[in-house]
Amino acid sequence: MVAVKEVDFFVIGAGSGGVRAARTAAALGASVAIAEDKYFGGTCVNVGCIPKKLYSYASHYHFNFQESRGFGWEFKSAPQFNWRTLRENKKKEISRLQDIYINLLRTSNVSVYEGRAKLLDAHTIQVGEELIRATYILIAVGGWPQPLDIPGGGLALDSNAIFDLPRLPKRLLIIGGGYIAVEFAGIFAGLGVQTSLSYRGDKLLRGFDSDIQRHFTQEIQRHLDFRPQTQITTISVDPKGTLTVTYTDGKEQEVDAVLAAVGRLPRTQDLGLENTQVKLSNSGQIAVDEQLQTNEPSIFAVGDVVGHMTLTPVALAEGMFVADKLFGTGKRQLNYENIPTAVFSHPNLATVGLTQEQAQDRYHHLKIFESNFRHLRHTLSGSNERTYIKIIVDAGTDKVLGMHMMGSDAGEIIQGFASAMIAGITKAQLDNTIGIHPTAAEEFVTLRTLSYEWKSTEELNLS
């Protein structure tokens, strides 16, 4: 009979949330084990944030080369891009990061199991031939790209496969209008691929502030063929490998590759959840309470499989929260307000706090400050790229409710303002901040012109 190992805490999934929870719990004195069946570091390290950002850097060189002429740089022929070099260098870097993740776990005294973990009951896990009993279990298995459910949908690449294409396609069609679709659209357009983006709606990035959506949807069309209000019904392939997609209006388009970026699904299959009381929500995520505890008191879940906000830093915060709750002081708080986020599209977008639509649901009187300008760099670069920023303020308290930006380094800029928002910054305090000149960021502290005020019907009736 197989000996059963006993641990305080067993983590299923060594992605961002799982690794952070395991290491935090081990540092707090718990005996911890973790299982991973795919790749250490999870989506973010392997097929998400990190390789995507590396590819995004690669694509930005294209624009930098173009823009450098206005600054006096001369070169006889356009620089050539080598996809193989980028892909192989990326692979080496990811492999280095994977090793770091495994070493971090081992040096933190976390026992590492390589294989798919299955729950046999509320405290027992099987990995291959091994059985482990744990006082507490954490499910941190993440998500997986949603397939394109149309005839020939299997011919489309997903956001995992796109990273390791054997060769760069000449013509690429991307389906979707969320983070992944617009990030890859910017990347491949920058790398010189003829890129089309088919979105079933009008304005990209649903859920973002509608002005940011509008400005971004205009801006992105400078680099690629945007096809709003379109949906494809079939994909077929000819013997040479050329793909033909058919749209709902019957029109066809020939491309060399299709990327389906139509969302991600929680990866809950074959986990043995049926052997426990763990329940799924209607949309398939693991259902948890505000303590991230499932219906089964010994089992918790964090990250994309829960889907509160499918962002790496949220998974990290949730992982630390569960470890602290179970093995620490239990005082760590989870707060989903004012979580900053960035889209590494071309141009970048970043946001913290409420969109105007959310603010209008909660407040009666808002002041909206906006600035739409040409970045200093583009006075000489020849680029027409615009930078747009927006600040949403509660007129009653002067509190800043939302800060939004489209433009270079938006993520770097909004990160700092996110701390100010957490501290409850007012517009007067923003105005009292000295700018750093000349930067785009200073616009957030020098912006005085009120664009307009918004009042709820109730407020209008009162005034």
- Residues designated catalytic: 437
Contact 42, 319 (CB under 8 A): no
Contact 365, 454 (CB under 8 A): yes
Q: Does 15 bind ligand NDP (CB under 6 A)?
A: no
Q: Does 155 bind ligand NDP (CB under 6 A)?
A: no
Contact 316, 16 (CB under 8 A): yes
Pick out residues in 281-300 that bind ligand NDP (CB under 6 A).
Answer: none
Closest-by-Cβ residue to ligand NDP is: 178
Q: Does 341 bind ligand NDP (CB under 6 A)?
A: yes
Token pair listed for 374: 């040409």
Q: What are phi and psi of 213, to 5 degrees?
A: -60, -45
142 vs 43: CA distance, rounded Å: 8
Which one of 19-27, 180-188, 221-229, 359-367 is the stretch in contact with ligand NDP (CB under 6 A)? Answer: 180-188
CB of 341 to ligand NDP, least distance (A): 6
Amino acid at the residue 322: V
CB of 380 to ligand NDP, least distance (A): 30
Token pair listed for 348: 């970048």
Q: Does 17 bind ligand NDP (CB under 6 A)?
A: no
Q: Does 264 bind ligand NDP (CB under 6 A)?
A: yes
3-state class (DSSP) for residue 442? coil
Q: Does 176 bind ligand NDP (CB under 6 A)?
A: yes
Q: How far is CA 58 from the centre of its chain?
A: 19
Of 169 and 177, nearer to ligand NDP (C-beta) is: 177
Contact 242, 254 (CB under 8 A): yes
3-class DSSP string for 46-87: HHCHHHHHHHHHHHHHHHHHHHHHHHCCCCCCCCCCCHHHHH
Of 30 and 235, nearer to ligand NDP (C-beta) is: 235
CB of 160 to ligand NDP, least distance (A): 11
Residue 160 burial (CB count, 10 A): 15
DSSP state letter for 434:
P
Q: Pattern of binders to ligand NDP over 204-233, x per CB under 6 A?
A: --x------------------------x--
Which one of 173-181, 237-245, 389-397, 399-407 is the stretch in contact with ligand NDP (CB under 6 A)? Answer: 173-181
Q: What are phi and psi of 95, to 5 degrees?
A: -65, -35
Q: Does 147 bind ligand NDP (CB under 6 A)?
A: no
Of 345 and 387, nearer to ligand NDP (C-beta) is: 345
Q: Pattern of binders to ligand NDP over 19-58, x per CB under 6 A?
A: ----------------------------------------
CB of 116 to ligand NDP, least distance (A): 23
Task: Return the residue of 181, 197, 278, 301 that touches ligand NDP, per CB under 6 A.
Answer: 181
Task: Return the residue of 342, 366, 389, 441 that touches ligand NDP, per CB under 6 A.
Answer: 342
186 vs 201: CA distance, rounded Å: 19
Size of the site for ligand NDP (CB under 6 A): 22
Task: Return the residue of 28, 263, 360, 451 that touches ligand NDP, per CB under 6 A.
Answer: 263
Task: Return the residue of 13, 17, 18, 177 that touches ligand NDP, per CB under 6 A.
Answer: 177
Task: Return the residue of 35, 41, 127, 183 that touches ligand NDP, per CB under 6 A.
Answer: 183
Q: 188: Cβ–Cβ under 8 A, 6 or more apart, which residues?
A: 59, 172, 174, 195
Q: How far is CA 14 from the centre of its chain?
A: 18
Of 231 and 419, nearer to ligand NDP (C-beta) is: 231
CB of 239 to ligand NDP, least distance (A): 28
Contact 256, 152 (CB under 8 A): no
305 vs 285: CA distance, rounded Å: 6
Task: Return the residue of 310, 356, 371, 408 that touches ligand NDP, per CB under 6 A.
Answer: 310
Kind of pairing, strands 243-247 and 252-255? antiparallel
Which one of 211-219, 337-345, 433-441, 448-456 is the stretch in contact with ligand NDP (CB under 6 A)? Answer: 337-345
Of 11 and 259, nearer to ligand NDP (C-beta) is: 259
**Unique residue bearing structure tokens 């770091």:** 100
Strand spans (E) along 99-231 = 110-114, 117-119, 124-127, 130-139, 143-145, 171-175, 194-198, 225-227
- Residues within the interface to ligand NDP (CB under 6 A): 175-181, 183, 200-201, 206, 231, 261-264, 310-311, 341-344
